[in-house]
Amino acid sequence: MCTHTPTCPTADSADREAAIVVAGHPEQGWSLLCNGVLIFDDTGELLPDGRVVAPHRPTGTISLAAAA
């Protein structure tokens, strides 16, 4: 689907989120990438073949000892 030069990562690539946004709807919380991936504000994804990628936000906590 991508016609960019160089081409964007495919929907199956680990770096698929680096593809260019072709339709953004921040008011609705999603964007369509040129590789066909729908990416949501909660970091979840819907791949072109219907597979769902669960949200994958960082879940680490800040240690007060490390901050000192």
Residue 62 lies in a domain: no
Residue 68 lies in a domain: no
Residue 65 lies in a domain: no
Residue 67 lies in a domain: no
Q: What is the Cα Rg of the chain in Å?
A: 15
Residue 64 lies in a domain: no
Q: How far apart are CA 35 and CA 46, in angstroms?
A: 11
Q: What is the pLDDT along the chain (68 residues), one digit of tens a residue?
A: 677 888 899 999 999 999 999 999 999 999 999 999 999 999 899 999 999 999 987 666 666 655 55
Residue 38 lies in a domain: yes
Residue 27 lies in a domain: yes
Segments forming the whole domain that contains residue 39 = 1-10+19-57
How many distinct structural domains can be found in the chain? 1
Which residues, in sequence order, are CB contacts of 46 under 8 Å at separation 6+?
Answer: 37, 38, 40, 52, 53
